[in-house]
Amino acid sequence: MDAIILQILNGLDKGSAYALIALGLTLIFGTLGVVNFAHGALFMIGAFCAVTLNKILTLGYITIDETQKDFLGNPLKVENTYVETWFGPELGAAIIDWSVPLAILFAIPVMVAIGFIMERGLIKHFYNRPHADQILVTFGLAIVLQEIIKYFYGANPIPTGAPEVFRGSLDFGVLLGFDPNVIIYPYWRLVYFLFAAAIIGAVFAFLQFTTFGMVVRAGMADRETVGLLGINIDRRFTIMFGIAAAVAGLAGVMYAPINSPNYHMGMDFLVLSFVVVVVGGMGSLPGAVLAGFLLGILESFASMNEVKSLLPGIDQIIIYLVAIIILLTRPRGLMGRKGVMEE
């Protein structure tokens, strides 16, 4: 029982990342009809927003400490961060410690700007082009973004820690009446799950309860008619692209402490998030979220020793296997709409 609860937690956590990326992808699919292969790269750039902010906060000037030696036997160069000099060591250290949550504020404008530039500068010209061309151009863009990050940050993962207070783990089992130390779960992963839930809720509320959202939903259902009504759909779709980019970016920012960001983390998620979107059903936002969590949980269950000893290697293929089964039993995924990307 305790093992199952643990894996459900793990699944929710993995599912959070899948669901957030898939949500953004579906927004772009649904509103603009564009296959965005650069979406994984947006997630990666989000994570590097956290890295960059951390780098900025720890910028410093160099003083030479004659008492210590560096590896070549020369006097040691000591870095003094500006933040700690300006705000005093204690507050300065606290600001640096909280760089990942602070990066959310930093990432939102950056990601929205990247989204706008991408949509206006590139994607806009591909609305009426075949999906194959969209794939080629966004894939090219993904490679370029990735290589730019690699040029500046290298290929090695860059450790980016969560704030000190979130570093331990919570004895989750005790809350449910288990013995202590049976179900423990890292604080930051719980934070990630709650954060994802909040973002997903916010996106849905936005689409459900605002006029803007209503127009966008109408546009998703029937773009032409809404356009005929004299509503400027294009401008709203640009904003939607910005929002989708921000969602992917925020997923990335908060993911940075879970696994050290590296330049190809976007590609690692790209294929999976496409599977998630399609399993959820094209054009369905609830479908994408549902599929994200479902696949996350199944993946976690498949990695349990009991399951693996029964079916060796099942954890390697579970996501794809489930995708095949779902697509064969439900022609348009879990909640897909008819006629979206079926040609």
Partner 1 sequence: MSKSNFTRRGLLKTGAVGSAGIALPTIFTAGSASAFTNAPTGGSVTLGFNVPQTGPYADEGADELRAYELAVEHLNGGGDGGMLSTFSSKVLDGTGILGKKVEFVTGDTQTKSDAARASAKSMIEKDGAVMITGGSSSGVAVAVQGLCQEAGVIFMAGLTHSNDTTGKDKKANGFRHFFNAYMSGAALAPVLRSLYGDDRRAYHLTADYTWGWTQQESIQAATEALGWETVENVLTPLAATDFSSYIAPVLNSGADVLVLNHYGGNMVNSLTNAVQFGLREKQVNGKNFEIVVPLYSELMAKGAGANIKGIVGSQNWDWKLENQMGSRYTGTNAFVKSFGEKYGFPPSQAAQTCYAQALLYADAVTRAGSFDPCAVVEALEGFEFDGLGNGPTLYRADDHQCFKDVLVVRGAENPSNEFDLVEIVEVTPAEQVTYAPDHPMFAGGDLGSCNPGA
Partner 2 sequence: MLGLDKRDATLLIIVTLLTMFAPFILNPFPEGSAMAQFNAGYPDLMQRFVIFGIFAVGFNILFGLTGYLSFGHAAFLGVGSYSAVWMFKLLSMNVVPAIILAVIVSGLFALVIGYVSLRRSGIYFSILTLAFAQMSFALAYSVLTPITNGETGLQVYNDDPQYLMGPDSPTVTNLFGLEMRSTYTLDMGPWSFDFNAGYYMCALFMLAAVYLSIRIFRSPFGLMLKAVKSNQQRMNFTGLNTRPYTLAAFVISGMYAGLAGGLMASMDPLAGAERMQWTASGEVVLMTILGGAGTLIGPILGAGFIKYFENIFSKINDSVLHQWFAFMPDGLEDFMVFIIHPFIGKGWHLTLGILFMLVVIFLPGGLVEGGQRIAAWLRSKTPGAKDETTKSTEPAE
Q: Which does 323 bind (CB under 5 to 8 A by kind): partner 1, partner 2, none?
A: partner 2
Among 141, 308, 321, 341, binds partner 1 (CB under 8 A): 308
Cβ neighbours of 51 (radius 10 Å)? 24
From first CA to last CA, the distance across the chain in angstroms is 45
> What is the per-residue DSSP string for 271-303?
HHHHHHHHHH-TT-HHHHHHHHHHHHHHHHHHT
Rounded distance between C-alpha atoms, residue 202 and residue 196, angstroms: 10
Q: Least Å distance between CB 221 and partner 2?
A: 18
Task: Name the nearest CA neighbour of 46 among 132, 106, 134.
Answer: 106
Show contacts with partner 2 in window 150-179 (CB under 8 A).
Answer: 151
151 binds partner 1 (CB under 8 A): no
Q: What share of the chain is helix, strand, coil (3-state, %, to 5)?
A: 70, 5, 25
Residue 304: helix, strand or coil by DSSP? Answer: coil
Helix (H) or strand (E) holding 319: helix 314-329
Residue 252: helix, strand or coil by DSSP? Answer: helix
Binding mask 57-86 for partner 2 (x = CB under 8 A): ------------------------------
Binding mask 255-294 for partner 2 (x = CB under 8 A): ----------------x--xx--xx--x------------
Tell me whether residue 7 or residue 284 sits nearer to partner 1 (CB atom): 7
Q: Residue 226 CA to chain centroid, in angstroms?
A: 31
Q: Which does 164 bind (CB under 5 to 8 A by kind): partner 2, partner 1, none?
A: none
307 binds partner 2 (CB under 8 A): no
Tell me whether residue 179 or residue 222 sits nearer to partner 1 (CB atom): 179
Tell me whether residue 27 or residue 191 sits nearer to partner 2 (CB atom): 27
Rounded distance between C-alpha atoms, residue 246 and residue 251, angstroms: 8
Site of tokens 């591909």? 126
303 binds partner 1 (CB under 8 A): yes
Tell me whether residue 39 or residue 189 sits nearer to partner 2 (CB atom): 39
> What is the per-residue DSSP string for 49-116?
HHHHHHHHHT-EEEEEEEEEE-TTSSEEEEEEEHHHHHHHHHHHHHHHHTHHHHHHHHHHHHHHHHHH
Residues found near partner 2 in the complex (CB under 8 A): 35, 122, 125, 129, 131-133, 135-137, 139-144, 146-148, 151, 271, 274-275, 278-279, 282, 312-313, 316-317, 320-321, 323-324, 327-328, 331-333, 341-343
Interacting residues with partner 1 (CB under 8 A) = 2-3, 6-7, 9-11, 13-14, 17, 68, 70-72, 76, 150, 154-161, 167-169, 181-182, 184-186, 188-189, 258-260, 262, 264-265, 268-269, 299-300, 303-305, 308, 312-313, 315-316
